[in-house]
Chain A
Amino acid sequence: MYNALTLLSAVKPVNPQDDWSLVFATVVTGMVVVFFILLLLIGFIMLMGKVFYRGEKKIKSESENKTAESIITHSTPERTKNTYNNGINGEIVAAITAAVAAIGEDEGKTYAIKNISKRKNAPRSDRTSGWGAAGISESMRPFVK
């Protein structure tokens, strides 16, 4: 493939009228090479999917069989729709569930949310807002390994 491309590029007319065969060869070669490479990538990804996805699916189903309770995966708007969980709005529960699911997906794990409740009477030192805590963490980042 690379030799064919090199051969094509060895002849270098300047204007199309100098060599129309190069023009058509460029079009055909370009489409063929693009499709060929992307087909190769499709094959590789499908193979990768068969090896890694099937393997992880097997491990996941085995661990699911071990636990007695049913697992809630990803967000469950049906369960929380218009209901309140310990006084927390259903939309907030959905957002928390989605965030946990996203973290789990990043780590390749599945988390089950068993309970969500508001913290009452948190100690003063722990009353920094989420944004404030994120800002502090960001500033301290260069100093923390």
Chain B
Amino acid sequence: MQVFIETLEGLWKASAFSNISPQQLLMLLISFVLMYLAIVRGYEPLLLLPIAFGMALTNIPGANMFHYDFYLTADIDYGQVLHEGGLLDILYLGVKLQVFPPLIFLGIGCMTDFSPLIANPRSFLLGAAAQAGIFFTFLGACALSLTGIEELSFTLKQAGAISIIGGADGPTAIFLTSKLAPELLGSIAVAAYSYMALVPVIQPPIMRALTTKKERSVKMEQLRTVSKRERIIFPIAVTVIVSFIVPDATPLVGMLMLGNLFKESGVVDRLVKTAQNELMNIVTIFLGITVGATATAENFLSVKTLLIVGLGLIAFSIGTAAGVLFGKLMYVLTGGKINPLIGSAGVSAVPMAARVSQKVGQETNPSNFLLMHAMGPNVAGVIGSAVAAGVLLNILG
């Protein structure tokens, strides 16, 4: 009987019930809210659900699935990870060694059609303009250090990682943050994916405020057809040009273009199917759950997380505004041929941002079909945000 009671006591002491802290309990509740948003509200469920569950797993005391202290220094003790680490420690190597985000981009490349961009290359300018959100937010995040309050200040690397939220590109955000500020990975990933899901809510008011009815009702000329040869040469050319100038962007841009080349070549159908489906799904699961696992109570529950959420919203809004304003400039320069609404699609949230342009355009003119025109800046934004990440990595890394 005594042994039985002692065994029960031992079990109780080892259980999470006796070891959980109030902060960890709060993190569990936050993870439940995120699961609700993902499942019931449909907020980017493919990534938000594994992130939320990873968050829950890492905040259960005694589970030992993830040890953040293994990854605090630049040099990883792989022996320690393998011998003492849990499942998520081993899977996290894919994030830390920057393997997963480029593989996600491979799948995205297989699913992306760059024809609207090739047919109307001026869309690249709108994709570039929308990246202003990244750099102005970087300035804003740095400016917080002027307060002199340590809790409200970010280092240069942290500011760079936070600013990439403005690119509205999840894999790029994770890629850059894991290199520059891994301690903020959980907060930045949650903010980035939440804002991507909120594109239809955040963008329309900004788009309506910055454009006139006349501008919104512009009907654009039908895009020319793009030959297969152009669609094959495009990914090769983009990879060479971008990688030569900003080599740090090669993992993302290179894999994006490799996936696109697979698709456009038409000779590796099976690889395309695998990259689009099985590979993408596997990597999404591993990436999501491990990113969520970095959101421990110590890392996530701080004033800095709230600041990251706020700065992320600013980054997103400035990116949308910059794209629309550049679209207005192009409207003037082309004599009214470009609808400024497609500028907002320069953020990389493919294809949601393009759909928002279509929807807002149709509010003014129901016969206006902007979707394919908006896809140009949308996919240009993916390239633009990857280039911006490469620049930030080069300067701050």
Q: Which residues of A contact B (CB under 8 A)?
A: 1-2, 5-6, 8-9, 12-17, 20, 22-27, 29-31, 33-42, 44-46, 48-49, 52-53, 56, 105-108, 141
The answer to whether A37 and B118 touch across the interface, beta carbons within 8 angstroms, is no
Instruction: Report the minimum CB–CB distance from A76 to chain B (whole Å).
Output: 15
Choose among B117, B156, B266, B387 the residue that contacts A13 (Cβ–Cβ < 8 A).
B156
Contact-residue size bin, chain B (C-beta under 8 Å from the other chain): 35 or more
Q: Report the tally of A-B residue pairs with Cβ distances under 8 A.
A: 145
CB-contacts of B200-255 with A (<8 A): 224-230, 233-234, 237-238, 241-242, 245-247
Out of B230, B238, B395, which one reaches A9, CB within 8 Å? B395
Whether B391 lies near A29 (C-beta < 8 A) is yes
B391: chain A residues at CB < 8 Å are: 5, 26, 29-30, 33-34
Judged by a CB distance under 8 angstroms, whether B153 is at the interface is: yes
In whole angstroms, what is the CA distance A53 to B233 when docked? 13
| Residue contact B245 to A1, C-beta cutoff 8 Å | yes
In addition to A15-B155, A45-B230, A106-B228, 8 A-B residue pairs with Cβ atoms within 8 Å of each other are A8-B395, A14-B157, A24-B139, A30-B395, A33-B246, A34-B388, A44-B241, A45-B118
Q: Is the CB of B270 within 8 A of A141?
A: yes
Q: Jot down 26 A-B pairs with beta carbons below 8 A, ordered by A.
A: A5-B394, A17-B146, A20-B142, A23-B139, A26-B396, A27-B135, A30-B131, A30-B391, A33-B245, A34-B388, A36-B245, A38-B127, A38-B128, A38-B383, A41-B124, A42-B125, A45-B118, A45-B124, A45-B237, A48-B118, A49-B224, A53-B227, A53-B230, A106-B228, A108-B227, A141-B270
Contacts of B155 in A (CB 8 A): 14-16
Mask of B131-155 contacts with A, CB within 8 angstroms, 1/0: 1101110110011011000000111
B310 within 8 A of A: no
Give Cα A46 to B224, complex, Å: 12
Give Cα distance in the complex from A53 to B270, angstroms: 29
**B384 CB–A CB distance under 8 Å:** yes
Partner of B156, one of A1, A16, A36, A53: A16
Chain B stretch 62-97: residues in CB contact (< 8 A) with chain A: none
The residue of chain A having its C-beta at the shortest distance from the C-beta of B154 within the complex is A16
| Complex CA distance for A17 and B245, rounded to whole angstroms | 29
Give CA–CA (A106, B272) in the complex, Å.
15
The answer to whether residues A48 and B135 also contact, given A14-B156, A16-B156, A37-B242 and a CB cut-off of 8 A, is no
B366: Cβ under 8 A from any A Cβ: no
Q: How far is the CA of A14 from the CA of B136 in the complex (A)?
A: 19
Q: Is B342 an interface residue (CB 8 A)?
A: no
Check B128 against A107 for contact (C-beta < 8 Å): no
Q: Complex: how many Å from CA A29 to CA B397? A: 15
Name the B residues within 8 Å of A35 (CB-CB). Answer: 125, 128
- When C-beta atoms are compared, the residue in chain B nearest to A42 turns out to be B121
Residues of chain B within 8 A (CB-CB) of A29 are 391, 395
Query: Which of B345-397 touch A at CB < 8 Å?
Result: 380, 383-384, 387-388, 391-392, 394-397
- Does B337 interact with chain A (Cβ within 8 Å)? no
Question: Nearest chain A CB to B328's CB is how many angstroms away?
Answer: 17
Q: How far is the CB of B221 from chain A (nearest CB, A)?
A: 15
Interface string of B262-276 (1 = CB under 8 A from A): 000010001000000
User: In the complex the two chains form, what is the Cα distance from A45 to B115 in whole Å?
Assistant: 11
Instruction: Please measure, in the bound complex, the distance between the C-alpha atom of A53 and the C-alpha atom of B226, giving whole angstroms.
Output: 7
Instruction: Say whether, besides A40-B241, A41-B241, A16 and B224 are in contact (CB < 8 Å).
Output: no
Interface residues of B in 105-132 (CB under 8 A from A): 117-118, 121-122, 124-125, 127-128, 131-132
Residues of A within 8 A of B127 (CB): 38
- Contact A41 to B238, CB < 8 A, known contacts A15-B155, A53-B224: yes
The answer to whether residues A38 and B132 also contact, given A1-B245, A14-B156 and a CB cut-off of 8 A, is: no
State in angstroms the CA–CA spacing of A25 and B133 once bound together: 16
Would you give the shortest CB distance from B146 to chain A, in whole angstroms? 8
